[in-house]
Amino acid sequence: MLNNSPRRDHRGLCTSEGNQMWSYEIMGTDIYHLLAAFVLYSVLGWALESAYMSLCNRKLTNRGFGKGPFCPIYGFGGVLGYLILSPLRDKLVELYILGAILATVFEYLVGVGMIRFLGELWWDYNNKPFNYRGIICLESTVAWGFYAIGIVQFVHDAMYHVIDRVQLQIGTRLIQGILVLVVIDYTVQLIKVFDIDVRSKGEALKERCQALIARW
């Protein structure tokens, strides 16, 4: 009797024809686990930072760009960091140094991008010693190294264990649904930001025109 049940690879991922997209691998890890980890890192990062800032500000503070509990900076940072640093799992010194450097570079690039495109920065290190433009500082760099060790040694494996406990069909639908909601949320917020910019530019142009008319 033929067995028509879908096969599973060594990560527990179905490899039937309908799930080939999810089993495609990048740097040895399938798309399903990468996207699931991205979602979890984004949600957990948002939760931790929002909780910390809420305590500091003594009021509820949303540290995400959108309205939902999602911060993709942590998603990209966690997944990319693990893919790059996992070969150094057994070399703690190299893992710490490279993790600190890569995370600092990533933080700087994200900060510059936010200032350029959003006109604001979600953190400020100007009051920290050895900071550069308030975007990066020595204290955060030291902390990033320890975070890198924690992610590679403990967090990522625990996260995959949680992911593998969810049925593939349910997991894929959850990922798709969450990402669709995030795209809608962020699109709405970007439109609002664009509208604000348009209004401010329109008001500035109006004032210039009025000044020119007054001179005439």
pLDDT at position 165 over 60: yes
How many angstroms separate the CA atoms of 198 and 124, rounded?
Answer: 27
Q: Which comes out higher in pLDDT, residue 108 or 68?
A: 108
- The secondary element (H helix, E strand) that includes residue 29 is strand 29-30
In a domain, 93, yes or no: yes
pLDDT in tens, 77-121: 889 889 999 899 899 999 999 999 999 999 999 899 888 877 778
Q: Regarding predicted confidence, which is higher, 36 or 188?
A: 36
> Average pLDDT for residues 157-172, to the nearest whole number?
90
Residue 206 domain-assigned?
Answer: no
CA–centroid distance for 190 within its chain: 17
| Number of domains making up the chain | 1
Instruction: Indicate whether 177 pLDDT > 90.
Output: yes
| This model's pTM is above 0.85 | no
Q: Please give the pLDDT value at position 209.
A: 67
- Domain of residue 125 covers 19-176
pLDDT of residue 7: 35
Asked if the structure places residue 27 within a domain, the reply is: yes
Q: Is residue 96 part of a domain?
A: yes
